[in-house]
Structure 1
Amino acid sequence: MATGTIEKQYVEPKITIVGAGPGDPDLISIKGVKALKTADVILYDALVDETLLSYAPQQSIKVFVGNPSGDENFSQDVVNQLMVDYALNFGHVVRLKGGDLFVFGRGYEEIAYAESYSIQATIVPGISSAISVPGLQGIPVTQRGISESLWILSGTDSNGRLSEELTTAAQSRATVIVLLGYEKLSQIVEIYQQAGKGKLPAAVIQNGSMANEKIAIGLVNTIAETAEEKQIDGTQPVLLIFGQAVALHQDFQSIRRFFDQLECVDCY
């Protein structure tokens, strides 16, 4: 009969929160890849390309913590607790998130929760879709003489209502990037029209940087209809862009010539 006790091997809890970028798996940072290669556990969300998991050790635990709307199994509180529990029991947890941690990524909440358990969280920034997705389309979010400031807004507030800051943003000359706002596009268009900016260039991009990317280019007055024509449905990540910088997109001049040929003053 065996005697004695089996001691549980101590693991040093460690958490690394990694921004995976806008969607294209090649846009993750080298530092992010290095973190994945040493992970014992990976918690990854719905905006992460799963090919990135191949960087992790084969024996590592991969846990999907996507965020379907209304599903309590993937609430932020649940994800926070999973992150800590896995770190305490297995060691190095990589929390892999789409985009950048601090641009509507709730990264600070996860860092604060980890530190409440005296687990230090290392931060690996990611490329934000707010800047990179327009850039990949040849739309500079700032351009000397055209747009010298940038607003990045959520389309809705924490209660799901249209963000009040959109009214102020529409009055500015800045390039305005709206995330999490496609369902409110018609209301956002009305705000710009009320500001006398129905002819302002606008764009809608779905699945930016990915193979199934869709883009609609037009003007405030027509952008909702153009997005529908391009079969942008909002079931995947969508980014809205308003501002003169959109006119630098290669397709914009042909759009403007089309309206000029119609001699339709109210079209744009």
Structure 2
Amino acid sequence: MSLTAIGIGPGDPELITVKGLKALQKADVVYYPASKLTETEENSWSRKIIDAYDLKCPCKPILFPMTGKGRDQFYREAYETLKEAALDKNVVIVNEGDLLFYSTYGYIQKLANQDKLECNLVPGIPAFVAASSVMKESLVDGNTSLEVMAKPDSIEDVKAALEKDISLVVMKAKFVKGWYPFLKELKRPFFYIEKVGAPEEFSTSNAEDLKDREIPYFATILFY
């Protein structure tokens, strides 16, 4: 039958392409990534998004731990599950954001490429693109360059990038300490946003709003 992967955007269920939604509606089964699974609990941002689509087919979690040992084995097991299911079903796997931009699904596609397994890919909107629309400012224009950093090691890495006179996107800002004092002294505009497109979305361009704020995993900072 078929294996289709769909990027479903950063959080707002309406930020999905028409093509992606049609593929979801035609699926025999939809898999979504979860970073924690027990008999009574799961942690999945993707599931929160697809719940809005009122899909008629079964929706099943597939484990992708975000950290820890043995991640390659989890990816291999997930891939084998999808490949086997696709032998006689129209299988869809979803992923928040875009499929191949700092994405869990990217690891699955590498395994599919090794097997020469044909997959249908439907791209999605990454968080920083949605964030610039919330910001209502151009992130890049003219001949401006753009750099994207994910999980920089320190504030010093961010400072070094900003010395290049570029626009900068920092994703997974949670993993860096010292944002408040750095942003407070910064002489150029920035835009902080977390959980873009979701009901819990929060954004600010005022460093004081971040003084005592705990930064979550889905946090992005734009420097423009």
Q: Partner of 2:76 in structure 1?
A: 77
- Could you tell which deviates more after superposition, 44-53 or 169-178? 44-53
Report the 3-state secondary structure (helix = DSSP H, G, I; strand = E; otherwise coil) of the residue aligned with 1:241. Answer: strand
Corresponding position: 1:227 with 2:219: no
Q: Partner of 1:154 in structure 2?
A: 150
- CA spacing shift, 1:208–1:62, aligned 2, 3 Å: same
Report the 3-state secondary structure (helix = DSSP H, G, I; strand = E; otherwise coil) of the residue aligned with 2:109. Answer: helix
Report the 3-state secondary structure (helix = DSSP H, G, I; strand = E; otherwise coil) of the residue aligned with 2:111. Answer: helix
- CA spacing shift, 1:235–1:70, aligned 2, 3 Å: farther
Identical columns (%): 21
Whole-Å separation in 1 of the counterparts to 2:9 and 2:47: 10
- CA spacing shift, 1:163–1:95, aligned 2, 3 Å: farther
Q: Please show how residues 175-190 of structure 1 align to structure 2 within 5 Å.
A: 175-186=167-178
Larger Rg: 1
Deviation at 1:64, TM superposition (A): 4.6
Q: Given the alignment, which residue of 196, 201, 204 partners 2:192?
A: 204
Q: Please show how residues 1-268 of structure 1 align to structure 2 within 5 Å.
A: 12=1, 14-45=2-33, 46-50=44-48, 52-53=50-51, 55=53, 58-65=56-63, 67-70=65-68, 75-88=74-87, 90-144=88-142, 148-156=144-152, 161-162=153-154, 166=158, 168-186=160-178, 198-218=186-206, 223=207, 225-229=208-212, 231=213, 233-243=214-224
Whole-Å separation in 1 of the counterparts to 2:223 and 2:181: 10
Report the 3-state secondary structure (helix = DSSP H, G, I; strand = E; otherwise coil) of the residue aligned with 1:239. Answer: strand
Opposite residue 154 of structure 1, the aligned amino acid is A
- CA spacing shift, 1:167–1:79, aligned 2, 3 Å: farther
Whole-Å separation in 2 of the counterparts to 1:234 and 1:75: 27
Whole-Å separation in 2 of the counterparts to 1:113 and 1:141: 34
- Could you tell which deviates more after superposition, 177-186 or 165-174? 165-174
Gaps of 5+ in 1: 1-11, 244-268
Opposite residue 161 of structure 2, the aligned amino acid is A
Deviations 1:139-172 (A, max 9, x none): 321245xx8222222124xxxx459964542212
Deviation at 1:56, TM superposition (A): 7.0
**Higher relative contact order, structure no. (Cα contacts within 8 Å, ≥ 6 residues apart):** 2
Report the 3-state secondary structure (helix = DSSP H, G, I; strand = E; otherwise coil) of the residue aligned with 2:131. Answer: helix
Whole-Å separation in 2 of the counterparts to 1:176 and 1:151: 5
Report the 3-state secondary structure (helix = DSSP H, G, I; strand = E; otherwise coil) of the residue aligned with 2:46. Answer: coil
More strand by share: 2
Question: TM-score, normalized by length of structure 2?
Answer: 0.78
- CA spacing shift, 1:41–1:72, aligned 2, 3 Å: farther
Whole-Å separation in 2 of the counterparts to 1:210 and 1:72: 31
Whole-Å separation in 2 of the counterparts to 1:123 and 1:200: 38
Moved over 6 A (4+): none
- Could you tell which deviates more after superposition, 55-64 or 122-131? 55-64
- Conserved? CA contact 1:17–1:94, under 8 Å: yes
| CA-based RMSD | 3.2
Gaps of 5+ in 2: 34-43
